[in-house]
């Protein structure tokens, strides 16, 4: 993104879209893994009573990280598209 003003906007949008899709896939994996670790327990019960909390909390951080990446990529794409549209208007 640091060089966004010097590269093709369409290429950058495509790369950011791909990265958002990759993050979305990882989000799904993290959510499945968290559900598997919780088993029949709810979130709070699992946090309080699971034997091993480290892997669960680590996975939770990974989930938040990928959600942040996805959201940022989507926002950046929106901004780039809007700027691109503004430049093509008379």
- The model's pLDDT over 5-31, given as tens digits with 9 standing for 90+, comes to 888 999 999 999 999 999 999 999 999
* CB-based burial, 61-79: b 16+ in 10 Å, e otherwise: ebbeebeebbeebbebbee
Residues 26-62: pLDDT tens digits? Answer: 999 999 999 999 999 998 998 898 888 999 999 999 9
Number of residues that make up the chain? 90
Task: Quote the crossing angle between the two packed helices 9-38 and 54-88, to the nearest 10°.
Answer: 160
pTM for the model stands at 0.86
- Confirm if 76 and 1 have CB atoms less than 8 A apart: yes
> 8 in helix, strand or coil?
coil
């Amino acid at each position: 993104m640091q060089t966004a003003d010097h590269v093709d906007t369409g290429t950058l949008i495509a790369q950011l879209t791909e990265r958002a899709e990759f993050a979305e896939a990882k989000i799904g994996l993290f959510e499945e893994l968290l559900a598997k670790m919780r088993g029949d327990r709810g979130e709070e019960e699992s946090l309080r009573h699971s034997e091993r909390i480290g892997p669960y909390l680590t996975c939770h951080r990974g989930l938040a990280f990928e959600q942040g990446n996805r959201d940022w990529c989507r926002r950046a794409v929106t901004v780039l598209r809007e700027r691109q549209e503004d430049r093509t208007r008379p």
